[in-house]
Amino acid sequence: MGLQQALPRDMYVDEETWQRERDRVLHGEWFCVGRRDDLGLTEPGSAVAVDVAGESVVVTNDDDGALHAAYNVCRHRGSQLLVEGRSCSVRALRCPYHSWTYALDGRLMRAPHVEEQLDPDTWRLTMVAVDTWAGFVFVHLTPDAAGPLAEAVAGPASSLANYAIGDLVTGRTLTYRVAANYKVLLENYNECYHCGPVHPELTRLVPSFGGGGTDLDWANGIPHREGAWTFTMSGTTSRAPLPGLDEAERTRHKGDLAYPNLMVSASADHVAAFVLLPRGVAETEVVCSLLFAAHEAARPGFDPGDAVELWDLVNQQDWAICESVQRGMSSRSYRHGWFAPMEDESLDIRRWLLPRVAADGEGER
């Protein structure tokens, strides 16, 4: 198989193309907004506002522990109900402008001086679909078109089932601002052709990563060098392997992703989860959560520093090369790239994205 044509330049650098892709794809698919625990949505009466590629959404946990989600927009005059990024404990959502008040399920409870004229159900907040998988919260801005979340996460749910990710807890969070389109990060994650030149420390830990990205058996996991079994600089750790892993998973590395914005890399004793939050055509916020067994994280003196050291190094190497790619794609000389045969997995973004961008018959390329 020869070189395959990659996505065209405008899908990485053009503002109008970005707006179309955002509206048709990111706002029309299940979108991961983070770990439920880390968002502060574990207790009844908790709420948080999150950004979904430019749209603000309120997610609430009601008194029965059920999640609800709605646009962060009062139905009266459009004021936002909550400030993004600050989880809070609330009995209801009260608009700071005119005190219209909504139940945690979005139903209108109170509209001072006019409530007798309004039907509470008709004037409820504009709702958004919400669901969870493995401790992650997903929202869908087009709920009438939302299929089951299980279909969107089928890949990692199957390949990483033994890691029991939903039972893990966050031991450390690393947050980055990357000056690159979110698709550049997804494509980079999907191949290891770059690992030799970009990640010398990683390829010493996992020698097959330095072989040009060929013959990597992700289904069964990628073996470490002799004597190593996890993602730390030494390849070892004092933490025990996660319970439930099979023999191969106790010594190998696995990874998978759920489009459009969740990447998951699994080591024997921890899991690194990356939530990509597009902030514009050429900017992506990345929240990297390092997840550990709850009993390990509860031990006195728990220190995830050995995993943090390697992941922060590898992450920064990745983000630097992704930013270089973004700058190069912005050149007037660039039209589109090419995928080498060992980058075939990267074609997934093309197979997944293009039909969705052109879903209404426009934007064919």
Per domain, the residue ranges of the chain are 39-130, 154-348
Question: CA-CA-CA-CA torsion for 211, 214, 219, 223, nearest 10 degrees?
Answer: -10
Q: CATH classification of 154-348, choosing from 3.30.300.30, 3.40.50.2300, 3.20.20.70, 3.90.380.10?
A: 3.90.380.10
Q: What is the pLDDT along the chain (365 residues), one digit of tens a residue?
A: 689 999 999 999 999 999 999 999 999 999 999 999 999 999 999 999 999 999 999 999 999 999 999 999 999 999 999 998 888 989 999 999 999 999 999 999 999 999 888 888 899 999 999 999 999 999 999 999 999 999 999 999 999 999 999 999 999 999 999 999 999 999 999 999 999 999 999 999 999 999 888 888 999 999 999 999 999 999 999 999 999 999 999 999 999 999 999 999 999 999 999 999 999 999 999 999 999 999 999 999 999 999 999 999 999 999 999 999 999 999 999 999 999 888 887 778 899 999 999 875 444 43
Would you say 302 and 196 are in contact if contact means Cβ atoms under 8 Å apart?
A: no
Residues sharing a CB contact under 8 Å with residue 117, sequence separation 6 or more, in sequence order: none
Burial 46-55 (b: 16+ CB within 10 A, else e): bbbbbbbbeb
Would you say 102 and 81 are in contact if contact means Cβ atoms under 8 Å apart?
A: yes
Residues sharing a CB contact under 8 Å with residue 16, sequence separation 6 or more, in sequence order: none
Would you say 120 and 68 are in contact if contact means Cβ atoms under 8 Å apart?
A: no
Geometric angle at alpha carbon 46, from 42 and 51, rounded to 5°: 95
Would you say 256 and 159 are in contact if contact means Cβ atoms under 8 Å apart?
A: yes
To which CATH superfamily is domain 39-130 assigned?
Rieske [2Fe-2S] iron-sulphur domain (2.102.10.10)
- Do 39-130 and 154-348 have matching folds? no
In this structure, which amino acid lies at residue 198? V
Beta bridge partners of 274: 263, 288
Percentages helix, strand, coil for the chain, rounded to the nearest 5?
Answer: 30, 25, 45
